[in-house]
Homo-oligomer: A and B are copies of this chain.
């Protein structure tokens, strides 16, 4: 069997851990599997390199930053390859460039354009374990590029797509849960989750896997397994919707505490004013998320939106400027709230999920301040103090 296995930074943080992983990989090697390994930089290496760069410049040159950061993964692939050879496996390490990973785009958040797999195929044929540096590639000019946050996941899934095999992502959690187990103790680990649901979950802040990696998985039909490094428990498969027989109405609930809610009232909610508001927010790089507006033509109306709490500084600057441009506008900010999102591909065919949600909230007497929906998700802003109560009840009702 051919497989791509990816190990994150915490899994290769020390020489001891690298040796342990090598031993684990060697088991599959002895079964005769064709193995491609993708690794991240050791532990906090990337953060330390960024710190060095920031000591030189507040805004370090992005081409040089990419070249600097890529050394982290080059270090870990060499060490893992040595460790595999030391225990009698044939192995070879390849940088992004050597592995044929071509990128095209802007430095520090590049995109994989193509993978020329000839060299990897040759080494696999020679019976070698191939260890590829995650997070990096090379552009047309021969310059080293990096793929941005979560880039090693993307490297792994893209390699699996090119090599036409499954992808296993090893991390420090035992799999993907319907609800964050730190919030809801009885949370169940999912056996399977569809690409679409996983993408919604990732976007909504579940943070287990990078959305781009899941997108590539969906596009090329790569089955992705997420499990714990050296763990014994079975993890979670991210796969096509069609492989999930029993489609639940709600697969998971994500909880995002990094939220601030803003309400603007007592102004003419005409397009011109709405444009002023959102242009100004964009100018200050405030990441606007949920927007709700009750349209009342030519009458003083109201508009609400949420943004990350971590953007508050920029938000305040923007709100000051907006108040100058639209006199008499009244601003209310609400903190101490969370965004709860229910995600489920089954929602498409299960009507009445929203109704059931509102019923639950009424039953436990919990208010919500805002609500938005997509085809496979419902998001609500509720009081932070109600989080556990609401999540537990919803998890119970939807059996997550």
Stretch from A85-93, A263-271, A293-301 at the B interface: A85-93
Is A60 engaged at the interface, CB distance under 8 Å to the other chain? yes
Asked if A78 and B65 make an inter-chain contact with CB atoms under 8 angstroms apart, the answer reads: yes
- What 1/0 mask marks residues of chain A from 125 to 157 whose CB sits below 8 Å from any chain B CB? 000000000000000001110000000000000
| A65 CA / B78 CA spacing, docked (Å) | 7
Is A63 engaged at the interface, CB distance under 8 Å to the other chain? yes
Stretch from A68-76, A340-348, A351-359 at the B interface: A68-76
Interface centre among A56, A86, A95, A142 (most CB of B within 10 A): A56
Asked if A98 and B143 make an inter-chain contact with CB atoms under 8 angstroms apart, the answer reads: yes
CB closest chain-B residue, reference A74: B71
| A68 CA / B92 CA spacing, docked (Å) | 12
Asked if B61 and A85 make an inter-chain contact with CB atoms under 8 angstroms apart, the answer reads: yes
Chain A contacts with B in 287-327, Cβ cutoff 8 A: none
CB closest chain-B residue, reference A119: B142
Is A360 engaged at the interface, CB distance under 8 Å to the other chain? no
Chain A contacts with B in 158-203, Cβ cutoff 8 A: none
Is A83 engaged at the interface, CB distance under 8 Å to the other chain? yes
Contacts of A52 in B (CB 8 A): 15, 79
Asked if A86 and B18 make an inter-chain contact with CB atoms under 8 angstroms apart, the answer reads: no
CB closest chain-B residue, reference A15: B55
- What 1/0 mask marks residues of chain A from 1 to 24 whose CB sits below 8 Å from any chain B CB? 000000000000001001100000
Known: A65-B78, A71-B75. 7 other contacts (CB 8 A): A56-B79, A56-B82, A56-B83, A57-B82, A60-B86, A68-B75, A71-B71
A-B contact pairs, 28 of them (CB 8 A): A15-B52, A15-B55, A19-B56, A53-B78, A53-B79, A53-B82, A56-B82, A56-B86, A57-B82, A57-B83, A57-B85, A57-B86, A61-B82, A64-B85, A64-B93, A67-B77, A67-B78, A67-B93, A67-B95, A68-B74, A68-B75, A68-B78, A70-B74, A71-B75, A71-B78, A97-B142, A98-B143, A119-B142
